[in-house]
Structure formats: structure tokens, C-alpha cells
Amino acid sequence: MIEIKNISKWYGSFQVLTDCSTTIKQGEVVVVCGPSGSGKSTLIKTVNALEPIQKGDITIDGVSITHPNTNLPKLRSRVGMVFQHFELFPHLSVKDNLTLAQIKVLGRDKNDAMARGLKMLDRVGLSAHKDKFPGQLSGGQQQRVAIARALSMDPIVMLFDEPTSALDPEMVGEVLDVMVNLAQEGMTMMVVTHEMGFAKKVSNRVIFMDAGKIIEDCSKSEFFGNPDARSPRAQDFLSKILQH
């Protein structure tokens, strides 16, 4: 589904990603973790070309994101993305947030878009809030609407960029529940997160990054079950994050 092939990225002379490669198969849930500044958020943003790469290539469903003939907006419309800070459109109601891209990008009929959007809103349990504006919702609710907005586009894969990092602790659960549900239904997911509980529960694979490099890329059971085989950097990270 997603093939990341030897990508490197620089901000000026500073290299943020170094020769990263991995593959995400259909139906797979891959968690990307690592200390802050390790490049995991940058990596996930390169997947749908929100951040350009200077070397290597990424293909989504066989379509290269670096090929000059690729219609990037069209490719991105098939990839759902959820951001750390939700990024709902604050000037639009929840309903309009859900339908805007369906109508303007996919060319769906208004009624069809609304039906699809409301179905997804129901799925994240927020039907009652369809007429509100993002500013009237809690962080957890906003993030669930953001997930519904992405799902309304019928994506072939979902990218989550630290979806719970900006939330108050009591709201993390409601967002993770939606994500777990999604994973169990077979959605292909790439998730940057520190929520190791989520990784243990539903992921197939865990990628560990440090200093712009992919250090570990192994199955969940290998990653959590066989700590002695991990690199010192990953062991250190795991011991800190799993301490509590």
C-alpha cells in the first residue's frame, strides 16, 4: 500500500531524515515511535507529500509522490490524515467540515456528501454536535470530528500524526477507542504516537526512529516481547516510556 524507499530530507543543511525505508501492506497497522525530534512526524508528513523529500521515493497504491506527472491533490484525497492539533476548519460548522472536501474535491452531490459525513460523525459518536463550530467542542471531540472528516473521503489508508499528544489526559481514551475500532475493521493505518498501549493492542508492526533514522522495524511481539534484542537507543526509550 505504502512503500517508502530510501528517503532523505534536509532543512537547509540539517538532515532530518536519513535513508528511511519501510513498507506498509494493506490492512496493516504500523506504529511509529521515538523521542521528540527523531523525525517521526516529518516522516509521516512526507508520505502524502506535505513535506517534500530531496532523495528517494514514496509510492502509495503504486503511485509515486515524486513523479512530476502525479496528480498530488488527487492522490492526497485518497489518503486520510489526522493531525496533532486537529486542524478542523474553524470558520465552518462540523457539518461543513465533513462535507467541504467531499463536494469540492470528490465532486460528490451535496446530499450524498452530507449523508456520508453524518454517517462518519455517528461512527465517532458525535451526531448531536453536527451544527456546532469546532471552537465549541472539546479537544477530544474535535479530534474525533477530524477523524470523521478524513473517513468521509473513503480513504484507502489513514495517517495519524500524534493524534493524542495535544489532548488532555481524560480525552485520550475516546480518541484511541475510535482508532482501535478502525484498526480492528481492517483499515490500513500509519500512526505516529507515544501510546504504547495502542501499539500493543492493535498494531502489527512498530517502527522506532532516532535522529532521523529508522532504527527498529519489527513485529509488535518482537518489539515488546524481546527487549534484549533491541538497539540500546530503543531499549532506553522503552524503559523510559514503559516505566509507569
CB of 92 to another protein, least distance (A): 8
Q: Which is nearer to another protein, 85 or 110 (CB)?
A: 85
CB of 133 to another protein, least distance (A): 8
- Radius of gyration of the chain from Cα atoms? 18
Q: Which is nearer to another protein, 153 or 207 (CB)?
A: 153
Q: Which is nearer to another protein, 74 or 240 (CB)?
A: 74
CA-CA distance, 89 to 126, in Å (whole number)? 17
Across 3-20, b (16+ Cβ under 10 Å) vs e yields bbbebebeeeeebbbbeb
Q: Which is nearer to another protein, 50 or 115 (CB)?
A: 50
CB atoms within 10 A of CB 230: 19
Tell me if residue 32 falls in helix, strand or coil.
strand
CA-CA distance, 167 to 194, in Å (whole number)? 13
Contacting residues toward another protein, per CB under 8 A: 45, 48, 50, 73-74, 76-81, 83, 85, 87-91, 100-101, 104-106, 135, 149-150, 153
CB of 152 to another protein, least distance (A): 9
CB of 62 to another protein, least distance (A): 18
By residue count, the chain amounts to: 244
